[in-house]
């Protein structure tokens, strides 16, 4: 008989707060008045030493990278803030120091530099989030702007008022077919007042080096993909051998060429005059790419700690460049102004790591600047906001507004059901300062004889508006829910500017969109995350299975009063406190195996690439058969019905379910407090990224395999091979098979947590089949 998987109750938890008498490198926190806070140099029992802080840095970078998992709940946000405050104490800051940080308005984190392999933990650490979170309760609604200085003993060259700007755009190979950077290019050029603007599209590293040496740019803007994101999108990076941080360029043959950050720094500083500013609109560019640029001679740099929304990134850089020109090159004032534009957006930017680096002190000039200078800057911004751009006075509307519309080619019903948009991208960008009134957007989706309209009028004050966040077309009719095959529909889009009778047309087109059936799931980068909507706990077959499972539970627990009480059955007095949770799952398994006699069948035809038609629990029970995905979702629905948190494991070409053995383990997973960074070694000096960030709170991508397998090996997360339902396997045989499924890391694609999906508003589809 196979051995049962038991919780490891004697595992020791490492705590960074344990006594370590040697301090980390001398990082300082400089306030606008010149005060430097930090470790006093006295070694006591609370100060972290460098090796321990390396683990802390990797762990906090992982926590912030996975912020979508915990940032939507006030209690978990509060817990992270408490941990951040505790960490500041371990870095030598007193409660009084924390109060001074909270009300300073600005803080400059000064990080020493010796070489790339030394002090890397200070550069990858998410200072922006930790300092703001640790002081949030004290600050209330007051902002705190965090910037970084790399202390290399040199000073930065100021950005000229009429800079020479080099815009570099790199989307090699198939990336150019999937992504459009024309909007970003227009935003950069429109918001700077360059002496000369040059765009370099898809260069090789040799072409980039030649252009930098010949052109001698003051500002370099990098658009495209960092090595992690780019190779992941292309699915060409072996998960066992993650690339170093860097930029994806075009190779000599046209294939992607990942250039490591050390080499990129040499290429961008190869001219006789080094750039004053390099901005990296790239994921994972703040921890290693940006500081290495500074170490090579760049004056200042901006990068992202990990991932960032593309639309918000364009808004930030447009606002930053425009403010930079109005502020006469003052980086801090421009940075603050751009952040203010982000805070006015409806999307949360909590935990987003936008990082401004410089080799020169940035707060001392800001503090010394006369109040009249700041007042003049504020007046310029207010004056521009008050100016109204009239369409009648505009000869070419494309010089003022740029509209980018990219509808989805196929509309998955689960995506629309979960309040997501019909567009891959729908953005209106303002290319000139001023306010644009009387913008009108009309969208009509035609499905058969039904029409689903959307109308909106608005004023555009900021640099752009992402309409995909706003446009919602209701699809609640019986037609949309009951169609059994895909249908060609039409999507009409019109954007007008001006009052009625005097409007100017900005965009007008009709697009063909395929509306997929409600039971069809697309296994692609966009729609894969909506699989939890196909978990249907209210399907009649689910309650029927639970009714049959009752007698198995009573037998397994040897208790005629036993019921399905989920995690209420956890008993800390038992040798295995979660044993009764396992028995509930085993009872459900036994009922399906013995009372319903299911067999395996291939999926129904879908007639669409990377799609699968999914049977409901009632269809599975009525027909007596299902695919691996059908059986996975059936068992997950049963677990959710009895309030045991299910998950779905996706492998390459296979799926199977699992469950959390306790709500406490799940809570720790949500807060990312049980994710140990593992061994920290020299590889971390070469790679600031250990995993991809989460697109959605409930979706863990393939790069999260180490954390996932850690939970499985600890006995907190139990995988179950559901195909065993069709071969009448024993429950623990199925668990062992689930463990074996997860061992080849290269086969793992994703984990979807159904409970987290429900908390995020992902609800079951309105599909209901009645039992015969």
| DSSP one-letter string for 197-265 | EEEEES--HHHHHHHHHHH--SEEEEEE-BHHHHHHHTT-S-TTSPPPSEEEEE-TTSSEEEEEHHHHH
Query: Chain-centre distance of CA 706, in angstroms?
Result: 18
Q: What percent of the chain has pLDDT over 70?
A: 87
Structural element, H or E, at residue 627: none
Sorting pLDDT into bands at 50, 70 and 90, what band is 349?
A: low
Assess whether pLDDT exceeds 90 at residue 397: no
pLDDT of residue 23: 43
The mean per-residue pLDDT over the stretch 619-635 comes to 96
Sorting pLDDT into bands at 50, 70 and 90, what band is 20?
A: very low
The mean per-residue pLDDT over the stretch 477-489 comes to 65
How far apart, in Å, are the Cα atoms of 41 and each of 153, 237, 370, 516? 22, 44, 35, 65
Q: Which of 450-459, 497-506, 518-527, 587-596 has the highest mean pLDDT?
A: 587-596
Q: Which DSSP state fits 593?
A: I
pLDDT of residue 15: 42
- Per DSSP, the three-state class of 612 is strand
Residue for token digits 């991508």?
A: 701
Alpha helices (H) in 679-750, listed in sequence order: 683-686, 705-713, 731-742
Query: For the ranges 219-233, 266-280, 335-349, 630-644, which has the lowest average pLDDT?
Result: 335-349
The mean per-residue pLDDT over the stretch 622-626 comes to 95
Structure tokens at 303: 């990068």
Assess whether pLDDT exceeds 90 at residue 529: yes
Sorting pLDDT into bands at 50, 70 and 90, what band is 2?
A: very low
pLDDT of residue 25: 54
Specify burial of residue 11 (Cβ count, 10 A radius: 0-12, 13-18, 19+).
exposed
Report the C-alpha gap between 553 and 237 in whole angstroms: 46
Minimal CA–CA distance to 93: which of 70, 80, 109? 109
Structural element, H or E, at residue 90: helix 74-90
Structure tokens at 602: 């291939």
The pairing of strands 504-515 and 487-497 is antiparallel
Assess whether pLDDT exceeds 80 at residue 686: no
pLDDT of residue 688: 47
Assess whether pLDDT exceeds 50 at residue 628: yes
Structure tokens at 199: 């765009």
> What are the strands, taking DSSP E only, across 611-715?
611-613, 625-626, 646-651, 654-660, 699-701
The mean per-residue pLDDT over the stretch 101-114 comes to 94
At 28-37, the pLDDT tens digits run 999 998 999 9
Cα 659-68-628 angle, rounded to 5 deg? 35
Structure tokens at 334: 């421009």
Q: How many CB atoms lie within 10 A of CB 176?
A: 16
At 144-181, the pLDDT tens digits run 999 999 999 888 889 998 999 999 999 998 898 888 89
pLDDT of residue 463: 83
Query: For the ranges 67-71, 661-665, 724-728, which has the lowest average pLDDT?
Result: 67-71
Report the C-alpha gap between 186 and 523 in whole angstroms: 34
Assess whether pLDDT exceeds 60 at residue 481: no
pLDDT of residue 313: 92
Query: Which has more confidence, 209 or 44?
Result: 209
Sorting pLDDT into bands at 50, 70 and 90, what band is 527?
A: confident
Assess whether pLDDT exceeds 80 at residue 482: no
Report the C-alpha gap between 148 and 156 in whole angstroms: 13
Query: Chain-centre distance of CA 541, in angstroms?
Result: 36
Cα 436-441-446 angle, rounded to 5 deg? 170
The mean per-residue pLDDT over the stretch 180-186 comes to 90
Structure tokens at 34: 């010149």
pLDDT of residue 208: 98
pLDDT of residue 772: 47
Structure tokens at 694: 């989460």
Report the C-alpha gap between 671 and 69 in whole angstroms: 7
CB under 8 Å to 521, separation ≥6 — which residues? Answer: 412, 414, 527, 530, 531, 534, 611, 612, 613, 614, 629
Q: How many CB atoms lie within 10 A of CB 294?
A: 25
Burial 232-245 (b: 16+ CB within 10 A, else e): bbbeebeeeebbbb
Name the average pLDDT for the chain: 87
Do 646 and 667 form a contact (C-beta atoms < 8 A)?
Answer: no
Q: How many CB atoms lie within 10 A of CB 370?
A: 8
* Rg of the chain taking only CA atoms, in angstroms: 28
Report the C-alpha gap between 382 and 202 in whole angstroms: 38
Query: Chain-centre distance of CA 27, in angstroms?
Result: 29
């Amino acid at each position: 008989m196979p051995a049962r998987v038991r919780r490891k109750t004697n595992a020791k938890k490492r705590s960074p707060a344990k006594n370590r008498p040697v301090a980390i490198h001398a990082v300082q926190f400089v306030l606008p008045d010149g005060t430097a806070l930090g470790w006093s140099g006295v070694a006591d029992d609370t100060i972290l030493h460098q090796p321990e802080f390396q683990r802390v840095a990797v762990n906090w970078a992982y926590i912030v990278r996975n912020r979508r998992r915990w940032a939507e709940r006030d209690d978990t946000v509060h817990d992270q803030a408490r941990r951040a405050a505790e960490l500041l104490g371990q870095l030598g800051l007193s409660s009084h120091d924390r109060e001074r940080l909270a009300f300073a308005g600005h803080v400059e984190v000064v990080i020493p530099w010796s070489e790339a392999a030394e002090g890397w933990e200070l550069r990858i650490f998410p200072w922006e989030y930790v300092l703001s979170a640790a002081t949030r309760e004290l600050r209330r609604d007051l902002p705190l702007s965090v910037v970084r200085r790399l202390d290399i003993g040199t000073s930065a060259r100021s950005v000229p008022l009429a800079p020479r700007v080099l815009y570099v755009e790199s989307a090699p190979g198939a990336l150019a077919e999937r992504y459009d950077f024309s909007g970003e290019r227009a935003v950069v050029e429109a918001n700077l007042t360059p002496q000369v603007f040059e765009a370099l599209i898809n260069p090789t590293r040799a072409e980039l080096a030649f252009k930098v040496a010949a052109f001698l740019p003051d500002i370099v803007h990098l658009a495209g993909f960092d090595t992690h994101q780019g190779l992941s999108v292309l699915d060409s990076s072996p998960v066992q051998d993650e690339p170093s941080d860097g930029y994806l360029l075009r190779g000599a043959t046209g294939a992607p060429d990942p250039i490591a950050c050390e080499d990129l720094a040499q290429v961008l500083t190869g001219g006789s005059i080094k750039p004053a500013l390099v901005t990296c609109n790239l994921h994972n560019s703040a921890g290693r790419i940006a500081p290495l640029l500074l170490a090579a001679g760049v004056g200042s740099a901006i990068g992202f700690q990990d991932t960032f929304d593309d639309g918000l990134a364009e808004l930030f850089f447009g606002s930053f460049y425009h403010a930079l020109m109005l502020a006469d090159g003052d980086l801090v004032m421009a940075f603050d102004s751009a952040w203010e534009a982000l805070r006015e957006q409806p999307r949360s930017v909590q935990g987003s790591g936008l990082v401004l680096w410089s080799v020169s002190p940035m707060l001392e000039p800001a503090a010394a600047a006369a109040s009249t200078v700041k007042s003049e800057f504020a007046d310029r911004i207010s004056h521009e906001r008050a100016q109204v751009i009239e369409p009648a006075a505009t000869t070419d509307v494309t010089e003022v507004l740029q509209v980018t519309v990219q509808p989805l080619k196929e509309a998955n019903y689960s995506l629309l059901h979960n309040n997501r948009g019909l567009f891959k991208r729908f953005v209106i960008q303002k290319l000139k300062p001023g306010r644009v009134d009387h913008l009108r957007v009309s969208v009509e989706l035609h499905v058969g004889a039904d029409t689903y309209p959307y109308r909106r009028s608005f004023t555009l004050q900021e640099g752009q508006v992402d309409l995909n966040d706003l446009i919602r077309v209701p699809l609640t009719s019986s037609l949309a829910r009951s169609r059994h095959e895909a249908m060609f529909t039409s999507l009409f889009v019109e954007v007008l500017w001006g009052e009625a009778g005097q409007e100017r047309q900005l965009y007008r087109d009709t697009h063909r969109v395929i509306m997929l059936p409600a039971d069809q799931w697309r296994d692609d980068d966009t729609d894969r995350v909506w699989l939890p909507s196909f978990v249907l706990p209210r399907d009649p077959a689910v309650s029927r299975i639970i009714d049959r499972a009752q007698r198995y539970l009573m037998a397994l627990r040897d208790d005629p009063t036993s019921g399905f009480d989920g995690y209420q059955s956890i008993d800390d007095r038992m040798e295995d406190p979660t044993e009764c949770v396992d028995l509930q799952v085993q009872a459900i398994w036994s009922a399906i195996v013995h009372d319903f006699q299911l067999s395996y069948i291939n999926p129904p035809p879908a007639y669409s690439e990377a799609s699968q038609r999914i049977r409901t629990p009632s269809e599975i029970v009525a027909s007596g058969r299902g695919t691996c995905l059908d059986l996975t979702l059936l068992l997950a629905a049963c677990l959710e019905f009895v309030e045991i948190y299910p998950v779905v494991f996706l492998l390459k070409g296979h799926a199977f379910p699992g469950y959390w053995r306790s709500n406490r383990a799940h809570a720790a997973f949500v807060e990312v407090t049980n994710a140990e960074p593992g061994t920290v070694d020299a590889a971390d000096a070469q790679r600031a990224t250990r995993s991809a960030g989460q697109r959605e709170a409930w979706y863990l991508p393939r790069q999260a395999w180490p954390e996932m397998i850690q939970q499985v090996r600890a006995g907190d997360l139990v995988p179950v091979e559901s195909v065993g339902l069709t071969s009448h396997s024993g429950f623990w045989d199925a668990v062992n098979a689930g463990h074996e499924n997860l061992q080849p890391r290269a086969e793992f694609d994703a984990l979807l947590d159904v409970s987290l999906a429900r908390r995020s508003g992902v609800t079951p589809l309105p599909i209901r089949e009645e039992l015969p």
